[in-house]
Structure 1
Amino acid sequence: MNNKVLVTGGTGNTGGHAIKRLLELNIPVRALVRKIDERSDALKAMGVEIAEGDLLDLDAVSAAMKDIKSAYFVYTIREPGIIDASAYFAQAALENGVEAIVNLSQFGAHRNVRSHGAQNHWVAERLFDYAPVPVTHLRPTLFAEWFMYQARAIKSDSKFYLPFGDAKFAPITTEDVGLAVAAILADPEPHAGKSYDLFGSEILNMTEIAEVFTKVLDRKVTYVPIDTETFIGILKKFTPGHPYFIQHVTALGQDLKDGRAAGMNSLVEELIGQKPLAMADYIIKNKAAFI
């Protein structure tokens, strides 16, 4: 019986963690990567079959889907193209008899939302819903990894600068999302047709997150709230040439302040069989980036 799964984003965070767990479960994995490089070579050395191709190339995606039972779809938030890529992915799955798709959306995905990226994720969900291949949508809240964008400021000034006001959310790690992806890919039938909002282990505001950094790093770390225009200036300096991403992040700031990312449930623990990592756990694991 063929149970091979296809993982996109295998050289990234959620896909990489999903692959690691799937291999631990002795489930064969094929990874679709944009290019062959040292990262894909590392996956190959782990026993992963590598397929090279772009998610915006229907023929490449369809070829990667051959003899696949279930497939994971993730598309970068840094670039436009998710709607086309989702349509190609769904069509390729249909052509190859794929039995299940796990789609990484986001908690902010909605018809009426400021972020173009979040709205496009919502449209992509609807495209997958229209396809005859069963799909499970995962909608994680903000990743703990977002604080890597602030690592330089935390390291040099012991401060981080965000336009999120007093917004509260439950940061989730890409590791826990990857484990959830693997759990569903391994046994997709119970999750078919469902949408899961995924949260970390604790709801925190920015000041409370600064306190967690302070405790773990053993030095005072401060959250500095800034206005949107100042934040846009910072983003343009560090992420030039990414207007789609900049629009998403700045719109997300207002959505956070409006409470759109707030929430909590036990789904992650139910899916992966353990509590999701706390913010302190994430900082400890990545301490070298902040000191």
Structure 2
Amino acid sequence: MRLLTGATGHAGSIVLREFVRQQIPVRVLVRDPGKAAWIRDLPTVEVVHGDMLVPESLTDAFDDVDRVLMISSPRDNMVQTQCRFIDAAQSAGVGHIVKFGGKESGTTFDPNAFRGTRWHLEIEKYLENSGVAWTHLRPSQFMQFYLPGTLTGVDPHRQALVMPISESRLSPVDITDIAQVAVAMMQAEGIEGKAYDLTGPEALTMTEITDRISEATGRTFRYESVTPERKRALHAAEGLPPEVLDLLDEIYRGRLASPDSRVDLGAHREFGVEPTTFAEFARRHAADFTVGNGNGTRR
């Protein structure tokens, strides 16, 4: 049996739907039953309740499980949560954990400059020393982060993407690609002790991204480059708490310091997944980019 954690989150929910699409049985660990109502009726899915931080609540989750795809929210307690879960899995005799992490795609990015990357690296080292077979899946930034309604998404009313990263290039990856790779990894043999970086097929500036959104929607979107201080003020006006403001500021300044991104499609090739271009992603989500906007300038 395969076990998936984090299925009620953004990435985890898309991974779960890929298991369902391929009709692969999977068990899902859910901490908050109220967030899992949509999961219960999915075919081939077994839902168990438990908390990654509470080992004694995980007995049913680990029963007859030989491989886990470990995902959890990137919050301040992520290291404690995942390390405690690793200990519980090891004690239960789970043979293999695939850690869903993250990695900045800049060629000169300093991993110690961003706390999220530090957290993932700390957990990876802990897993490697746990005695459980391990595999790391390290996707870069998600294409979905550009959708309206996300912290870094476009504003469909102003038809603008406001970011403080100048002309830096990023290589975002579609979560549907990640989901296909992740599900393939959960069935694959011979991946123990390996780390897989995963990016999209292009390194793009924000202007190139808004050009692709414009082509997909028939409306003119623009990139508005602002200072990190201005972006922080805009986020503060949205009501974000100081700890989130600090985290986002680290990300933006890290990308300014490392303006170049690499493309790594090795995982796509190994697991037979066709990489999604940003143009394809924008066409698929054209209605999302223009929701609530009836006054766009037609091209």
Same-fold call, TM cutoff 0.5: yes
AA at the equivalent of 2:51: D
The aligned residue for residue 281 of structure 2 is 282
The structural deviation recorded for 1:94 is 0.7
The aligned residue for residue 6 of structure 1 is 3
* Structure with the bigger percentage of helix: 1
User: Which of 55, 61, 75 is equivalent to 1:64?
Assistant: 61
Distance 1:194 1:150 in 2: 32
Tell me how large the CA RMSD over aligned residues is.
2.3
The aligned residue for residue 210 of structure 1 is 210
AA at the equivalent of 1:16: S
Distance 1:111 1:211 in 2: 29
Distance 1:75 1:261 in 2: 28
1:118-143 CA-to-partner distances (Å, cap 9, x unmatched) read: 21111111111111111111111111
Change (3 A) 1:218 1:112: closer
AA at the equivalent of 2:227: D
Which structure 2 residue ranges, 5 or more long, are not aligned?
291-299
The aligned residue for residue 264 of structure 1 is 263
The aligned residue for residue 76 of structure 1 is 73
The structural deviation recorded for 1:22 is 2.8
The aligned residue for residue 101 of structure 1 is 97
Distance 2:245 2:57 in 1: 29
Do residues 139 (structure 1) and 138 (structure 2) align? yes
The aligned residue for residue 172 of structure 2 is 171
1:92-150 CA-to-partner distances (Å, cap 9, x unmatched) read: 21122111111111113998522222211111111111111111111111111111226
2:64 match: secondary structure: coil
The structural deviation recorded for 1:194 is 1.0
1:40-70 CA-to-partner distances (Å, cap 9, x unmatched) read: 2332211311122332222224542222111
Retained in 2: the 8 A contact 1:9–1:33? yes
Distance 1:122 1:72 in 2: 17
Which residues in structure 2 correspond to 1:158-237 (within 5 Å)?
A: 158-187=159-188, 189-237=189-237
The alignment covers a number of residue pairs equal to 284
The aligned residue for residue 92 of structure 1 is 88
Retained in 2: the 8 A contact 1:62–1:93? no
Distance 1:117 1:152 in 2: 19
Give the ranges of 4+ consecutive aligned residues of structure 1 lying more than 4 Å apart after TM superposition. Answer: 109-112, 150-153
TM-score, scaled relative to structure 1 = 0.89
Which structure 1 residue ranges, 5 or more long, are not aligned?
none
Distance 1:135 1:261 in 2: 30
What's the % identity of the aligned pairs?
22
Retained in 2: the 8 A contact 1:236–1:246? yes
The structural deviation recorded for 1:261 is 6.9
TM-score, scaled relative to structure 2 = 0.87
Retained in 2: the 8 A contact 1:111–1:119? no
AA at the equivalent of 1:220: T
The structural deviation recorded for 1:193 is 0.9
Distance 2:67 2:260 in 1: 29
AA at the equivalent of 1:158: Q
Retained in 2: the 8 A contact 1:16–1:178? no
Distance 2:119 2:260 in 1: 17
Do residues 113 (structure 1) and 112 (structure 2) align? yes
The aligned residue for residue 41 of structure 2 is 45
